[in-house]
Structure 1
Amino acid sequence: SSDLMEGKRPSPEPGELLQRIRDFTRLILLDLCNGRSPVVLINKFRNYCTNSAQNCLCSSTLPLGKEVLTLQKQSNAYRINVLLRVLLIVQQLLQENRHASKRDIYYMWT
């Protein structure tokens, strides 16, 4: 498939996504209930070119390592909060078999 050659993975089924959201949320809650600060690893992506002399792929879909988010840092805590809110919206959309744009999701949240 050309999608696989371009670094794109096939989209998981809605049921699988719902299970991943539940598992992620459960792990966050378990850490909090046991007095531990959750640690969230997210993929880092380059979305800008750092060297104008090179032929950059500015819209690369391949991750460039992991970023660690913890509740110890306020900016990270805010990002975890946003992540959980967006996951809640995605969960609701999946359960209702609905679609939404990023703009729709932004206005659902605010």
Structure 2
Amino acid sequence: MGPKSPAGVELRAIGSRMRSTNVERDVLDELHSPYIGARAVDVFDRVANACWVACAARSWSFTGPYGSGKSTWRNLIDAILGHDESRRSEAESVLTEVSPALPRASRPP
């Protein structure tokens, strides 16, 4: 039996989420089924929508504590907006699991 949360729920690490993402090392790798949380969905939606609005800002700064998913998120954005069709397909698949409308947001209207 593992450690428990204050609410008494057993906590356990998810093995696929234990490997850190490195932007330089992993930019051409598969995405390793990244965890996409509510904040990542919101940020992706904002970035995707800004890509197709002529007067929108297109310079962003993503900051957060170590391990918060910045590099994983950056690789996902690279995959979905990049030129490699196989990485784009993988990214669309990952995003569809979270929100079926997200991959469509990354394509021009």
Q: Greater relative contact order (Cα 8 A, min sep 6): structure 1 or 2?
A: 2
From the two aligned structures, give the one with the greater strand fraction. Answer: 1
Query: Would you say same fold, with TM above 0.5?
Result: no
The TM-score normalised by the length of structure 2 is 0.28
The TM-score normalised by the length of structure 1 is 0.28
